[in-house]
Amino acid sequence: MNEHIGYLESVIDNIVDIITILDADGKIRYESASIRGLGYEPEELVGRSVFELVHPDDKGRVLKVFFSGVLKPGHADKVEVRFRHKEGEWRLLECSAKNLLFDPRVRGIVVSSRDISKRRDLEERFRLNAEALQAVGNGVVITNPDGMILWINKAFTDMTGYELGEVRGKNPRILKSGEQDPQLYRDLWLMIKTGRVWRGELINRRKDGSQYFESMVITPILHAGGKISHFVAVKEDITERKALENQFRQAQKMEAVGRLSGGLAHDFNNILTVIMGRADFLARKIQGEDAAMKDVEEIKLAAQRAAALTRQLLAFSWKQMLQPKVIRLNQVVSDAASLVRQLIGEDIELVLKLSAAKTSIKIDPGQLEQVLMNLAVNARDAMPRGGAVMP
């Protein structure tokens, strides 16, 4: 019999879980050797009340569970409780207790306890990490080493329209737009498979088929042995930023064209001044010669049309002083049409639909022409394959 008891004690002493036997008042009758994990020797605790070692905030709950179990023979229960380590810190124990007070072989409450402090800390850290990844504004994708999607965050769903259930187990190639050079994807995969970080920009496709620009960083996650366990991709939708960059570049081009046109217009205006002056001088000199006079008038008329074109160029370059005056709207639109046609090119048709009413407004004609030309240029840029500009 003693040999059998010794065998059982040897087994219990080598179990990781802490085995405790309590009497009906909560005093410790037996403590297994595993209690050393909490800094105590078994004999230090025998005879002490287990409630002395329970965190004050947990004591009321533990007492309730304990005494409700004492009243029910054979009753088993589970509870998590903070237990004092010998050095004073608190450890979280997961305890399973069974009332065997009425079993003549035991006559006590048997408690099996396991220290879950580290596990709970890891769970809490994991929870915080998961919540942080869900909260970030950038899309996050985690894949296995083969590139199959395991997890996405809410920002990814907002960006692409895909829910986790729709992409789990699939390759991120479901986002491919077809706009990228296939070599880019081969270079990307080669880089991350060798453990290096990849950074770049892509044109991807959302669930609804619309395209968007994306900036992405893919980072390999390595095991302690250096083997890749996962890939983490952090994605940012930069469509709006790209649009602003394109607008800025377009504005720079327009500014350069404006400076060039302004310079040419001033030079051309100087030449026209000479032509107009010479034409006036010639007209005074040949008075009475009808045939020659008609030619001079044609020269002056052509110079006046050229001067109007010069004013349009100056308006385009924003170098003409504001001179508001009452004008016929149809006339300004008609005059601007010739320059607009040159700006938009031969592939785009310009259709004029002038008002039947003779509408007059007070405005700087050059500024109105500038607005018309800007509208025409924007329309041209929106039709790279040609089309028509019309009201």
Q: Are 13 and 41 in contact (CB under 8 A)?
A: no
Query: What is the spatial distance between Cα 92 and Cα 213, in angstroms, rounded to a whole number?
Result: 49
Which of these, 308, 136, 320, lies nearest to 233 by C-alpha position? 136
289 residue type, one letter: E
Residues in CB range of 154: below 8 A, 6 or more apart: 134
Q: Are 178 and 263 in contact (CB under 8 A)?
A: no
Each of the 391 residues of the chain gets a pLDDT tens digit; together they read: 444 444 445 545 556 689 999 999 999 999 998 999 999 999 999 999 999 999 999 999 999 888 887 778 778 888 999 999 999 999 999 999 888 888 888 889 999 999 998 888 888 887 777 777 777 788 999 999 999 999 999 999 999 999 999 999 999 999 999 888 999 999 999 999 999 999 999 999 999 999 999 999 999 998 877 889 999 999 999 988 888 877 777 777 767 766 776 677 777 777 877 888 888 878 887 876 777 788 888 887 777 777 767 766 666 555 555 567 888 888 878 877 777 777 677 788 888 888 777 778 888 776 777 777 778 878 887 887 888 877 6
Query: What is the spatial distance between Cα 230 and Cα 146, in angstroms, rounded to a whole number?
Result: 8
16 torsion bin: left (phi>0), alpha (psi -120 to 50), beta (else): alpha
Which of these, 85, 110, 91, lies nearest to 100 by C-alpha position? 110
Helix, strand, coil fractions of the chain, as percent rounded to 5? 50, 25, 25
Q: Are 142 and 231 in contact (CB under 8 A)?
A: yes
